[in-house]
Amino acid sequence: MLGACAFLALFMAAAPFLLSAQTGGIGTELTVSVYPEHPRPGEAMTVTVESYNIDLNRADIRWFVNNKLVKAGIGEKRLETVASGAGGLTDIRVVVLGENGATYSAGISFRPAEVSLLWQAESYTPPFYKGKALMPYQGTVLVAAVPFFTRGGLLMSPESLIYTWMEGDEVIGDSSGKGKNLFVFRGSVPIRPKTISVAVESPDRRMIASASVDIVPVAPRLLFYEDHPLYGLMLGKALVGNFLLKSDEARIGALPYYFEAKERSGFDIAYDWQVNYEPILLERGNALTLRRAVKEAGRSYLFLEARNADESKTFQAAEERLMIEFAEKTL
């Protein structure tokens, strides 16, 4: 049911695996930080060094990348460099020569890795719909993590990696663990967007990557179409506002969007029709036949409410209105 090709949303990120600091004496601290915090393979990044008890503006600062001196000078607290390729080691070390003659150092090492987040809502859209099926209120979304971890030039198996899933700031322990690259998110009340994130680690913790995606629930929708006796639903034009009844009868079909349902006419969606505010109790499907009852010109009001048949999903509902107009009938 779920494959990478079926997903339309793609989010990518990467993260370093190790941050370490070494100092030249008790009470002396150098702090090394990287921006972006999780650089992707080959991404430009900025490395900075800070200290609360060393005057770095007057210190001789030297930067090494993979044991090669790349920058040196008085007050050089900032380094612009590029992360290595996927799985390659990037080792950055800063050496500070203080005014008192003491030497201090700190470093950061990481092997960039990548993970993509792909998501798919379990909601209905018509077969001709070319957009992405969105998550309805109180709906369900399946999120898949697709990691790109390499070691020795070989791609690591997703099943060998460890996944930590989060909803907002909350770690979802039951969904986390080795090989758990799929996550099911179920919307709740109150209705609000939710950030789903994942951190993926190699078993030895020498590589880690992270990614996140914002899931925004939407209200389900209904659209009316004329249901022609020969051609079926006239999908070229939705009926919005009003519809001119040119013959003695017409059939109006409704298509639902973003309901948690397998099909539009099944048992997952309940339809309640009204004509001139009177319920049509004998019609519970997604189409209704309208018949002209008088010869005079006039109008009638068509109303439809659709809701998820699961009574616990009270916010998964939609309604639509249509004015039916008809001219005076002549012999």
CA atoms within 13 A on the CB side of 257: 15
Query: 179 near 158, Cβ under 8 Å?
Result: yes
290-306: average pLDDT: 87
Give the C-alpha separation, 83 to 65, whole Å.
10
Q: 142-168: per-residue pLDDT in tens? A: 999 999 998 877 889 999 999 999 999
Give first-to-last CA distance, the chain, whole Å. 57
Q: How many CB atoms lie within 10 A of CB 255?
A: 20
Q: Quick one: pLDDT at residue 63?
A: 97
Q: What is the CA radius of gyration of the chain?
A: 31
Pick left, alpha or beta for residue 56 (phi over 0 → left; psi -120 to 50 → alpha; otherwise beta).
alpha
Q: Quick one: pLDDT at residue 20?
A: 35
How are beta strands 317-326 and 298-308 bridged, if at all?
Answer: antiparallel
pTM: 0.71
Residue type present at position 269: I
Burial label for 142, CB within 10 Å (0-12, 13-18, 19+), is middle
Most confident of 110-124, 140-154, 213-227, 245-259: 213-227
Q: Quick one: pLDDT at residue 19?
A: 36
pLDDT higher than threshold 80 for residue 24: no
Tokens representing 251? 């059939």
117-146: average pLDDT: 93
Domains of the chain in start order, with CATH, are 4-11+114-215 (2.60.40.10), 18-110 (2.60.40.10), 221-326 (2.60.40.10)
289-317: average pLDDT: 89
Q: Helix (H, G, I), strand (E, B), or coil: what is residue 166?
A: strand
Burial label for 198, CB within 10 Å (0-12, 13-18, 19+), is buried
Q: Quick one: pLDDT at residue 40?
A: 78
pLDDT higher than threshold 90 for residue 308: yes
Q: Which residue has the tokens 């950030």?
A: 195
Give the C-alpha separation, 141 to 182, whole Å.
11
240-247: average pLDDT: 89
297-315: average pLDDT: 91
pLDDT higher than threshold 90 for residue 25: no
Q: 69-113: per-residue pLDDT in tens? A: 999 999 999 999 998 887 788 899 999 998 778 899 998 888 888
